[in-house]
């Protein structure tokens, strides 16, 4: 299978339980909840996206003919050293393209495979760390994984409804929007009122990493 990759680069994971970890970020092009065009944002199923996932023109991006060539790109970005190899596969929506062949090719090279998904498409087997970030008004079919990351506030989602899902970590992350201070306060309020939830901040934006 061929893969369309927006960008692929070495950085530190900025969010969630693994924040601060060295990782290759592999961002697939395309999402099933928004076209990525500003003209469509108001009518999209998800309309608070802060990511450019359109096309294949980012650093390290492109069209890759098969799993081996994409895994080779990831390994080349990591460089020498076999210790704690981590690739974070994101998007867009990575489940539109991620398959077992790519997971196997990354495992062969010693990578742990982390994935960040909106949960509307069932996850393929073999993922080592699965983060699901639900979006209001969508049908989340993937209700188990390693961390649930709720961008907050989102009218139409009741966090209490999510607490029965099968995740060891429940994270609430302030929405990156014009009303940022209010979003931070809302996230703090949720973590204070319901201790299942932990506050997650986007550390990469604080320190200026991509």
Catalytic residue among 7, 8, 28, 46: 46
- Region class of 72: left (phi > 0), else alpha (psi between -120 and 50), else beta: alpha
How many residues contact ligand SF4, by CB under 6 A? Answer: 12
Smallest gap from residue 78 Cβ to ligand SF4 (A): 24
* 15 binds ligand SF4, rule: CB under 6 A: no
Cβ distance 63 to 76 under 8 Å?
A: no
The question of whether 116 is a catalytic residue gets the answer yes
Which among 28-36, 79-87, 141-149, 161-169 is the span making contact with ligand SF4, rule CB under 6 A?
A: 28-36
Q: Give the three-class secondary structure for 71.
A: helix
Smallest gap from residue 97 Cβ to ligand SF4 (A): 13
Catalytic residue among 48, 66, 104, 204: 204
Residue 188: how many CB atoms within 10 A of its CB? 14
Name which of 34 and 197 has its Cβ closer to ligand SF4: 34
* 31 binds ligand SF4, rule: CB under 6 A: yes
Counting other chains too, the contacts that 39-45 makes at CB distance below 8 Å and 24 or more residues apart are: 45/135, 45/137, 45/138
Smallest gap from residue 126 Cβ to ligand SF4 (A): 22
Residue 48: how many CB atoms within 10 A of its CB? 15
Beta-strand pair 62-64/3-12: antiparallel
Smallest gap from residue 90 Cβ to ligand SF4 (A): 8
- The 135-154 contact track toward ligand SF4, x by CB under 6 A, reads x-------------------
The question of whether 104 is a catalytic residue gets the answer no
Q: What are phi and psi of 191, to 5 degrees?
A: -65, -30
* 49 binds ligand SF4, rule: CB under 6 A: yes
Catalytic residue among 7, 15, 75, 116: 116
The question of whether 43 is a catalytic residue gets the answer no
Cis check: omega of the bond before 36, within 30 degrees of 0: no
State the Cα–Cα distance between residues 83 and 101, nearest whole angstrom: 23
State the Cα–Cα distance between residues 88 and 100, nearest whole angstrom: 15
Cβ distance 59 to 9 under 8 Å?
A: yes
Residues with a catalytic annotation lie at 25, 31, 46, 49-51, 116, 204
Q: Which residues bind ligand SF4 (CB under 6 A)?
A: 31, 33-34, 46, 49, 51, 53, 91-93, 118, 135
């Amino acid at each position: 299978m061929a893969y369309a990759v927006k960008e692929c680069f070495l950085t530190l994971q900025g969010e969630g339980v693994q924040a601060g970890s060295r990782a290759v970020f592999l961002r697939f092009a395309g999402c099933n909840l928004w076209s990525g065009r500003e003209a469509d944002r108001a009518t999209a199923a998800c309309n608070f996206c802060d990511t450019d996932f359109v096309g294949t023109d980012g650093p390290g991006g492109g069209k890759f003919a098969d799993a081996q060539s994409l895994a080779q790109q990831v390994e080349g970005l990591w460089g020498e050293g076999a210790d704690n190899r981590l690739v974070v596969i994101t998007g867009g929506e990575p489940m539109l393209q991620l398959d077992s062949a790519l997971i196997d090719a990354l495992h062969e090279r010693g990578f742990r495979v982390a994935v960040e998904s909106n949960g509307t498409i069932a996850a393929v087997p073999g993922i080592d760390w699965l983060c699901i970030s639900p979006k209001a008004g969508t049908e989340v079919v993937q209700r188990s994984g390693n961390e649930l990351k709720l961008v907050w506030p989102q009218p139409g989602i009741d966090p209490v409804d999510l607490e029965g899902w099968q995740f060891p970590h429940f994270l609430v992350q302030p929405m990156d929007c014009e009303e940022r201070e209010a979003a931070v306060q809302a996230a703090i309020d949720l973590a204070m009122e319901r201790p299942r939830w932990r506050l997650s901040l986007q550390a990469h934006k604080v320190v200026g990493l991509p």
